[in-house]
Structure 1
């Protein structure tokens, strides 16, 4: 029997993260089976209990390095995975950060003359400040505090929470809106299949409409996913 590949995630079925990963894998790796383990702890337990050595398992656990509980779970996960050569861990902060780092994010969600570019200039700038710090690996917490102490943020956030909040602030009231419980249709459908689309809802893809397959390929190529999938030996349909 040919071996199978499983993609294990912590996100619950129906939630934004689950719908994103399900869509992405359907378009890029259609033979890979996406399974929800409901939460961090259950995902770690599943890897610990895994006895199967014939199939491939790709594991996605949020890598929020400044969240102590998540850090501990990451250490446990790595311990359980190290002895299993068919288990591969993806190093991804969270799916919200993945979309936040997407190189075409701002170009997609806003039309060139969109008033949101002015109204949300602070969020665009915050993103431009945050991404280089994360990518360099040399975190400047003073600069991060400058982002989170902005008048728009009144509480302390870890990197996962900050990524999710910033992505929401950039995408809210658009077809690309993302919150913990919702993912906009424009991330999981072909262009202009957004059911709640109004006549004046115009994004950066208005003159270059894309299929969902084209969108997912662009996300793959424009984020750290290409590196992570390559490290895990995942073959992608491009």
Structure 2
């Protein structure tokens, strides 16, 4: 079996079920583990069969040390799994929403200070990390 495990619930889980249905013809078993810790707990308890493969949607947030620690634990589990557990290289939906270049137009906001904050944060994100040295705006830095 092929599994897609996510920490998402509600709309996020619905999204992944739709992806499974529309792109993969329901070939994956999509399950929510309700949190990043829930993903780690579930992985610690799996009874993996010969042809099982697990795709893990870990909600990675670049500026949260607890999440970074959990990601390191997840990475150590996958390193021992001989390719049967795969972390999908994604970051959280919130970043995807911020990265959407039509966001400002669609939401109708003309607040230039908010636009500047968004642009500075996005331009500073590299390899799932925020390079704080690239942010000049003091107001933006106070949110990080």
Q: CA deviation at 1:142?
A: 4.6
Q: Measure the CA separation in 2 of the matches of 1:47 and 1:121.
A: 44
In structure 2, the CA distance between the partners of 1:34 and 1:95, relative to structure 1 (3 Å rule), is same
Gaps of 5+ in 1: 111-115, 158-238
Where do residues 76-155 of structure 1 align in structure 2 (5 Å cutoff)? 76-84=73-81, 85-106=83-104, 109=106, 116-117=108-109, 119-135=110-126, 139-144=130-135, 146=137, 149=139
Q: Measure the CA separation in 2 of the matches of 1:122 and 1:46.
A: 42
Instruction: Verify the 8 A CA contact 1:10 1:36 in the aligned structure 2.
Output: yes
Greater share of residues in strand = 2
Are 1:19 and 2:17 an aligned pair? no
Q: Measure the CA separation in 2 of the matches of 1:28 and 1:94.
A: 20
Q: Measure the CA separation in 1 of the matches of 2:68 and 2:127.
A: 20
Q: CA deviation at 1:59?
A: 0.3
Match of 1:69 among 66, 71, 74: 66
Q: Runs in 1 of length 4+ with deviation above 6 angstroms?
A: none
| RMSD between superposed Cα atoms in Å | 2.9
Q: Measure the CA separation in 1 of the matches of 2:70 and 2:117.
A: 29
CA deviation profile, 1:51-108 (whole Å, cap 9, x unmatched): 314122110112223322111111111111112121100232211112322355456x
Instruction: Verify the 8 A CA contact 1:133 1:139 in the aligned structure 2.
Output: yes
Greater share of residues in helix = 2
Secondary structure of the structure 1 residue equivalent to 2:4: strand
Instruction: Verify the 8 A CA contact 1:47 1:81 in the aligned structure 2.
Output: no
